[in-house]
Amino acid sequence: AQKVTQAQTEISVVEKEDVTLDCVYETRDTTYYLFWYKQPPSGELVFLIRRNSFDEQNEISGRYSWNFQKSTSSFNFTITASQVVDSAVYFCALSEAPETSGSRLTFGEGTQLTVNP
């Protein structure tokens, strides 16, 4: 069975600090997808990134970057120069064997990030 673990329940930083959110996953499949979603205080779920299991290239999007390492089954998310607007709950998720399971995502527990001014 697939599993996603976000060991950091809460993180608090001061604005402009860099912060890394950890995500570790378990799966027996060789084909899978990893996702990150953001849930701001308003409650909606905002898609941030999707990565397939065959692409280990790191990705950067503005202040956001993602480090995918199959050797350690991790898909960590770093925010550089954090801002107050980054305060949110962040979820890591895994979609296993998409040919048979559709996009059924297994989510981690979430990490509450608070960025203080």
Partner 1 sequence: IAGITQAPTSQILAAGRRMTLRCTQDMRHNAMYWYRQDLGLGLRLIHYSNTAGTTGKGEVPDGYSVSRANTDDFPLTLASAVPSQTSVYFCASSEERGEKLFFGSGTQLSVL
The least CB distance from residue 82 to partner 1, in Å, is 22
Nearer to partner 1, 18 or 109 (CB): 109
Residue partners of 103: CB distance under 8 A and separation at least 6: 33, 95
Residue with smaller CB distance to partner 1, 15 or 98:
98
Q: Which is nearer to partner 1, 74 or 112 (CB)?
A: 112
Cβ contact 56:68 at 8 Å: yes
| CA atoms within 13 Å, Cβ hemisphere of 24 | 6
Chain residues in the site for partner 1 (CB under 8 A):
4, 6, 9, 33, 35, 43-45, 47, 50, 52, 91, 93, 95, 98-99, 101-110
Q: How far is the CB of 96 from partner 1 (least distance, A)?
A: 10
Strands (E), 2-110: 3-5, 10-14, 19-21, 24-26, 32-39, 46-52, 59-61, 64-69, 74-79, 88-96, 105-107
State the nearest-atom distance from the C-beta of 32 to partner 1, in Å: 9
Closest to partner 1 by CB, 38 vs 80, is 38
